[in-house]
Amino acid sequence: MRYSSFTPYDIVLLLQGLGVSVGLFLATSLIGLLLGTVWAVIRYYRVPGLWQLMSFLAELLKNSPVLVQLFLVFFGFPAFFRVNMTPVEAATLTLSLNTAAFVYVIAVSAVESVGRDQIEAARVFGLSRWQVLRHVIGPQASAFAVGPLVALLVNQLQVTSLISVIGVVDLTKVGNILNLRTLKPFIVWTVVGLLYYAAAKLIAMLGTRLENRLRAHSAWKGL
């Protein structure tokens, strides 16, 4: 076997790297969705002090480069706070907070898309603020937010490629290793790109199906 040749085991390496990328994507997306939704609820209830802090944090995260955030969390936090942090922990924290910032913006926009007349009518009928949020705002805002959220998740999957720079052996890192070993960048990065494309396409397809179901469920059927 020549040093620059491919081996059957390279397929296993690529799949392992893809598994790391998808696993981190799923974990950080779930955490980000939960955090961003909680931040949006805090803003909806105008919790004193907290909602201004959430808005400031979201603005800071969504308007700064993810790569800079990764470096700050992985190199800056351990040095400043005297804590140990692995590459995976740094990547999870960074991507979760970054996702939460964009989810917060989408959730706030979705809530504000619901007509004020519906909210006022629900309050006239005696619904509490929580009941209005759950039964009136929630279903309509969810249907509105699915499209932007799917686009966000596809983008966040691509953003995971940045975590290789801090040492996480994800799909991009495996691609870089194979590229250095085989010296065949066109083949290696084409395969890596196709794997990312397949994963992103699957997310988009599932998101489209969910969006169609939510819109059909929330649509007014008439009398």
Q: How confident is the model at residue 213 (pLDDT cuts 50, 70, 90)?
A: confident
**Range 183-193 average pLDDT:** 93
Q: Over 90: is that where the pLDDT of 145 sits? A: no
146 or 114, greater pLDDT: 146
> What does the mean pLDDT of the chain come to?
85
pLDDT of 1? 46
CATH number at residue 41: 1.10.3720.10
Q: How confident is the model at residue 127 (pLDDT cuts 50, 70, 90)?
A: low
Between CA 165 and CA 107 the distance in angstroms is: 31
Number of domains the chain is built from = 1
* Average pLDDT over every residue of 93-122: 83
Work out the angle at residue 212's Cα, subtended by the Cα atoms of residues 148 and 41, and round it to the nearest 5 degrees: 45
Residue 147 vs residues 11, 54, 58, 141: alpha-carbon distances, Å: 33, 23, 20, 11
Query: Is residue 134 domain-resident?
Result: yes
Kindly state whether residue 201 falls inside one of the protein's structural domains.
yes
Determine, yes or no, domain membership for 47: yes
Enclosing domain of residue 175? 9-218
Between the CA atoms of 58, 59, 63 and 69, what dihedral angle is there, to the nearest 10 degrees?
-40
The answer to the question of residue 52 being in a domain is yes
The pLDDT tens digits for 3-18 are 568 888 899 999 999 9
Residue 1 placed within a domain? no
Name the one residue in this structure whose structure tokens are 């509105």: 144
89 domain residue, yes or no: yes
Q: Is residue 223 part of a domain?
A: no
